[in-house]
Amino acid sequence: MAYTLYDYVDAHRVNVILAWLNSLQTKERTKVTQRFDMLAEHGQELLPLTLAASGVAGILKLKTHGSVQLRPLLCRGPATGDKDAYTLLAGAREVDSRWEPKNIRETAAARKEEAAADPANRRTGHVQPAK
């Protein structure tokens, strides 16, 4: 089954996921985009090894492994009728069970609410970074 991916867009129409991906080194960016491809193809089937709870209700983390533990944060939907969609909300790192940035999970939860309230303006179809 195929799932639709969306990127969160802030109030200035900046795609925060694309900006985060472009800030990563090439090797890290490749790992994350491969995980996004897996999510689009397999969705919930990735639970619990690649896709997992983040510790905040309704927010999931997509795991990548390596010297840097990248943790894109996302949610199912959240717009009405989005049962086969995920919205990518924020990019983060997990270092020794600590999140960087520190309050990123709460930020992701707030973004989820914004995307649910105004999906047409707070998200866009997922955009892969330039290679």
Segment 47-66 mean pLDDT: 94
Report the pLDDT value the prediction gives residue 64, as an integer from 0 to 100. Answer: 93
Alpha carbons within 13 A on the beta-carbon side of 53: 4
Of 65-69, 75-79, 109-113, 124-128, the least confident: 65-69
Q: pLDDT tens-digit profile of 72-121?
A: 999 999 988 888 999 999 999 998 889 999 999 999 999 999 999 999 99
Q: What is the pTM of this model?
A: 0.95
HEC readout, 49-74:
CCEEECCCCCCEEECCCCCCCECCEE
Whether 131 shows a pLDDT value over 80: the answer reads: no
**8 - beta bridge partners?**
123
Give the residue with greater pLDDT, 54 vs 1.
54
